Chain A
């Protein structure tokens, strides 16, 4: 193919979008509508995912120590726990710090109840262990207990990570994540189906034209190229409009909920975190569908 012919195909492909005014409009419309729904659910799923992560990350392992453990033992345990590959951070909390923390968590009017314990602190020293993947808590807890077994002085009193409670939490957050994924995947398939049907219809209407082109001596590739370009243009236009609408709407949403959501301890995922992911996915999907729809349906009519 000559370069000038490629230029011709691109020119004709773009012109065809306008020549088939209403059909192009219908195709772009169906891309916008279905990708918009898909995009909304993607954003929703991403947010739900982040909330699930937030809940998960609050899960940590607390290892309480016997009251007679010396400083050298504490340091040794700290390095051993810290060297576990699943562990992100180990913090030593002395019994005084533990008491102070407890005070802060209590309501104002019952705080006084703790005053009497200042001298005879009943709390043990402890480690707060944060993990990279919160779902590993029970595994890590077992590892820490195993240290205790191998150590003759048995320095660890107990290990707590909200047994029973965290398993339930994980079941819920995992379910939420999976439902989100399934919904998004289902919508993506539906969008592709809907859009390709519309595009197929626009090309079906041009079956006769393809026949005429073949009679004049056009090769299949010569006929295919402008349709291909047309598909790219329609797909790009549709997904660009969708991305624009969606991200603009999302930024407005963030703005308007900035204050009240903060109080609910829930944070909306920032625009710059999801913008590229959602925008990129929609653009790629839209273009792909546009091209796929036009190429597949042209091929059907080429045997004339």
Chain B
């Protein structure tokens, strides 16, 4: 990201001059108070928002200049995980994960094999035919993560993935993300969870009022909750 500015159409300035490089295989926490611009920062990466000014490239794609019909192809290389899971409610766990592979037109046999593989990784193989509504929050988030990694993306963007989960479940999710990071995927995670940031020490980027106020390797949360 180079000198990124983002102002929303209603005049709200969300980001004011962000400069940052996140390397391959890094694990980065994005922290900061609500409304500081964390979510905008994340949305820029998977091109839900476009920067008003500045240069942003992800996996070698110039996101700011991306044509509308190219967006899907960039997103296929970025796994997204949300606080509210965003699973397709009428599809089973298996179908939800397989959907991401159907999108890239993988052969059916490969879809079957790989889907079961990631479901095993997140420990939900036995729930493959359940509907999302029949699962607990932690389980739903693990399905979302399985969907995010099924196509072997180079980056995972997680916007408060533990925001809706109790502490114990949150640790399960973090273990999983760490494992995925260990296997070679970059992870950018926005969070409010002080305990996680302070225990599982990683690079910390703090955003306040639209600018980066701190960028620290093995940093701590730094805010009193």
Contact with A along B107-118 (1 / 0, CB 8 A): 110000000000
**A219 lies within 8 A of B99 (CB):** no
B80 near A: Cβ within 8 Å?
Answer: yes
A216 and B69 contact, Cβ closer than 8 Å, known pairs A4-B105, A4-B108: no
Q: How many Å from the CB of B111 to the closest CB on chain A?
A: 10
Contact A209 B89 (CB under 8 A): yes
Q: Say whether A217 contacts B104, CB under 8 Å.
A: yes
A142 CA to B103 CA in the complex, in Å? 75
Question: Which of B73, B87, B91, B151 has its CB near the most chain A CB atoms (within 10 A)?
Answer: B91
**Given A19-B90, A209-B89, residue A215 in contact with residue B80 (CB < 8 A):** yes
| With known contacts A19-B90, A209-B88, A215–B75 Cβ distance under 8 A | yes
Q: What is the CA–CA distance of A19 and B88 in the complex, to the nearest angstrom?
A: 12
Say yes or no for A212: interface residue by CB 8 A criterion. yes
* Complex alpha-carbon distance, A20 and B78, angstroms: 30
Residues of A near B192 (CB, < 8 A) are none
Residues 60-98 of B, flagged 1 when their CB comes within 8 A of A and 0 if not, give 000000000101111110101000001111110000000
A168 at the interface (CB under 8 A from B): no
Evaluate contact between A218 and B107: CB separation under 8 angstroms. no
Q: Which of A258-304 contact B (CB under 8 A)?
A: 304
- The answer for the CA separation of A20 and B90 in the assembled complex, in Å, is 8
- Please judge, given known A-B contacts A5-B102, A8-B102, A222-B103, whether A217 and B88 are in contact too, CB under 8 Å: no
Q: Is the CB of B90 within 8 A of A218?
A: no
CA A67 to CA B46, docked complex, whole Å: 101
Q: Which of B69, B86, B105, B151 interacts with A215 by CB under 8 Å?
A: B86
CB closest residue in chain A, given B74: A217
For the complex, give the distance between the alpha carbons of A2 and B105 in Å. Answer: 7
B147 near A: Cβ within 8 Å?
yes
> Which listed residue (B73, B74, B89, B147) contacts A216, Cβ 8 A?
B147
Minimum CB–CB distance from A77 to chain B (whole Å) comes to 77
- CB–CB A217/B105 < 8 A: no
Number of B residues with CB within 8 Å of any CB on chain A: 27
B72 near A214 with CB under 8 A, answer yes
A213 cross-chain contacts in B, Cβ below 8 A: 88, 99, 103
A-B pairs with beta carbons under 8 A, tally: 56
Are A216 and B90 in contact, with the CB atoms below 8 A? no
A54 to chain B, nearest CB (A): 56
Which of B76, B89, B108 makes the CB contact (< 8 A) with A217?
B76
Please name all residues of chain A whose beta carbon is closer than 8 Å to the beta carbon of B46 when the two chains form the complex. Answer: 215
Residue of B nearest to A215 (CB): B80
Give the residues from 13 to 66 in chain A that come closer than 8 angstroms, CB to CB, to chain B. Answer: 16, 19-20
Q: Are A5 and B105 in contact (CB under 8 A)?
A: yes
* B73 proximity list for chain A (CB < 8 A): 217
Complex Cα distance, B46 from A231, in Å, reads: 31
Chain A minimum-CB-distance residue to B91? A19
Q: Which of B88, B105, B108 contacts A212 (CB 8 A)?
A: B88
CA A220 to CA B69, docked complex, whole Å: 8
B100 at the interface (CB under 8 A from A): yes
Tell me the A189-211 residues at the B interface (CB within 8 Å). 209
Chain B residues whose CB sits within 8 angstroms of the CB of A220 once the complex forms? 69
Known pairs A4-B107, A213-B99; list 10 more (Cβ under 8 Å): A5-B105, A16-B90, A209-B89, A212-B86, A213-B88, A216-B147, A217-B151, A218-B99, A220-B69, A222-B103
- 11 pairs of residues in contact across A and B, judged by CB atoms under 8 Å: A4-B107, A4-B108, A19-B91, A213-B99, A214-B72, A215-B48, A215-B86, A216-B103, A217-B72, A217-B103, A218-B103
Closest 10 CB pairs of A and B: A217-B76, A217-B75, A19-B90, A218-B103, A219-B72, A217-B72, A216-B100, A212-B86, A5-B105, A2-B105
